[in-house]
């Protein structure tokens, strides 16, 4: 088991370098320039051929996880300014991953209580112990600077309007003020496959003409036709969008549109966002997952991020109990009301105070 993980970790690093070097430098907006490599490069040596299912499709089935990447920053951190993904590898990457692991450990001091009051995540969220098996310094593959492209003027205007609409509302005036993730409804797409503190398992099942992806966190399931058919009518909008797949060689390409405003990724325009995922099984225990976001109403150019999904039979999907006893939302709201009563009480004593902030984003949401 240990040797398998070590081999896997080494392979992940090689893959990270290979994937990064496969990125085509982009400078413009034309379709050909926007395209990133559909087929991730494989490590040196004989090309590994993905096994085929009886009906001929590449076999992607299995239980996968990306828990090893939960310490990976989404964009390139400023400390790596001027460097690309392929520049950060080997011993340097190993040291970076070790420090990320150490930081998580040192912040996870709630093991039976912490006299210093530095409360962190409880230890039963054990996905945080495998950060040294991560594969990369950051997620954004393209643009090569590792940064999400700038917002368009229209997107900035749209975001400003949303903020204006929320003006005057508290963080927990109603359940509507909490995120859909807080409310155990959805993490959306591709948010459902972003590594977080726990629940980082995914199951892929296949049948002729269909691929099914099940997510442990929130327990959503996408049933993706791979028959090359058209998207649903634009009037039909879903939290996970409308997904249609096809095969490009060994790669499953899934194009998702028809999002909803309240769950669309990174406040993109739900009417124009297109999410294109590429799943390429590059070794017996690894799928290269990369995601291209295109939305001319939100970003000045398309962009791509990626990470490996590592097959691990010990990481099968388990029951998802979003809120212990289903009490969290009631407690969040009642705590907010208690804060308000406290503010009023202090005001009567002549003390000016404000309601304490309650973060709107659920833990690890990005």
Contacting positions for other proteins (CB under 8 A)? 2, 79, 95-96, 98-99, 101-103, 105-107, 109-118, 120, 123, 126, 129
Which residue has 């964009």 as its token pair?
75
46 versus 115: smaller Cβ distance to other proteins = 115
45 versus 117: smaller Cβ distance to other proteins = 117
Write down the least CB distance from residue 103 to other proteins, Å: 6
Q: What secondary structure does DSSP assign to 199-220, as a single string?
A: --EEEEEEETTEEEEEESSTT-
Neighbouring-strand partners of residue 60: none
Write down the least CB distance from residue 153 to other proteins, Å: 33
The closest alpha carbon to 75, from 141, 163, 124, 1, belongs to 141
107 versus 331: smaller Cβ distance to other proteins = 107
Write down the least CB distance from residue 5 to other proteins, Å: 9
Main-chain phi, psi angles of 347, to 5 degrees: -60, -40
How many CA atoms lie less than 13 Å away from 323 in the CB half-sphere? 14
Write down the least CB distance from residue 146 to other proteins, Å: 16
**Distance between CA 89 and CA 85 in Å, rounded?**
8
Structure tokens belonging to residue 188: 């959306």
**What separation in angstroms does the CA of 260 have from each of 7, 180, 238, 241, 272?**
41, 12, 6, 7, 11
129 versus 247: smaller Cβ distance to other proteins = 129
Write down the least CB distance from residue 99 to other proteins, Å: 3
Q: Which three-class secondary structure state does DSSP give residue 251?
A: strand
106 versus 338: smaller Cβ distance to other proteins = 106
Write down the least CB distance from residue 121 to other proteins, Å: 12
Angle between helices 90-107 and 2-21 (to 10 degrees): 120
111 versus 230: smaller Cβ distance to other proteins = 111
Write down the least CB distance from residue 117 to other proteins, Å: 7
39 versus 132: smaller Cβ distance to other proteins = 132
The closest alpha carbon to 291, from 312, 268, 260, belongs to 268
């Amino acid at each position: 088991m240990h040797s398998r993980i070590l081999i896997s970790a080494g392979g992940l690093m090689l893959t990270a370098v290979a994937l990064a070097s496969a990125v085509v430098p982009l400078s413009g907006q034309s379709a050909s320039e926007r395209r990133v490599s559909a087929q991730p490069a494989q490590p040196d040596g004989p090309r590994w051929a993905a096994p085929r299912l009886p009906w001929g499709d590449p076999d992607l089935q299995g239980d996968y996880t990306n828990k090893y990447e939960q310490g990976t920053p989404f964009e390139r951190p400023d400390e790596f300014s001027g460097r690309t993904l392929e520049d950060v590898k080997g011993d340097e990457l190993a040291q970076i991953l070790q420090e990320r692991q150490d930081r998580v450990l040192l912040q996870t001091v709630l093991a039976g209580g912490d006299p210093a009051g530095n409360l962190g995540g409880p230890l039963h969220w054990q996905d945080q112990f495998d950060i040294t098996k991560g594969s990369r310094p950051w997620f954004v593959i393209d643009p090569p600077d590792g940064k999400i492209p700038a917002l368009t003027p229209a997107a900035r205007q749209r975001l400003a309007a949303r903020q204006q609409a929320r003006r005057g509302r508290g963080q927990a005036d109603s359940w509507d003020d909490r995120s859909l993730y807080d409310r155990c409804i959805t993490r959306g797409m591709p948010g459902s496959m972003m590594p977080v503190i726990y629940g980082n398992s995914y199951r892929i099942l296949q049948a002729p003409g269909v691929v099914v992806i099940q997510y442990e966190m929130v327990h959503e399931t996408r049933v993706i036709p791979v028959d090359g058919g058209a998207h649903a009518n634009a009037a039909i909008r879903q939290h996970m969008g409308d997904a249609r797949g096809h095969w490009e060689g060994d790669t499953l390409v899934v194009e998702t549109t028809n999002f909803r405003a309240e769950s669309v990724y990174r406040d993109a325009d739900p009417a124009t966002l297109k999410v294109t995922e590429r799943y390429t099984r590059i070794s017996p225990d690894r799928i290269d997952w990369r995601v291209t976001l295109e939305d001319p109403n939100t970003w000045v150019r398309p962009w791509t991020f990626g990470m490996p999904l590592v097959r691990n039979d010990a990481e099968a999907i388990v029951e998802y109990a979003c809120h212990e006893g289903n009490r969290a939302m009631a407690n969040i709201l009642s705590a907010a009301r208690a804060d308000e009563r406290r503010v009023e009480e202090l005001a009567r004593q002549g003390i000016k105070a404000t309601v304490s902030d309650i973060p709107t984003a659920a833990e690890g949401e990005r």
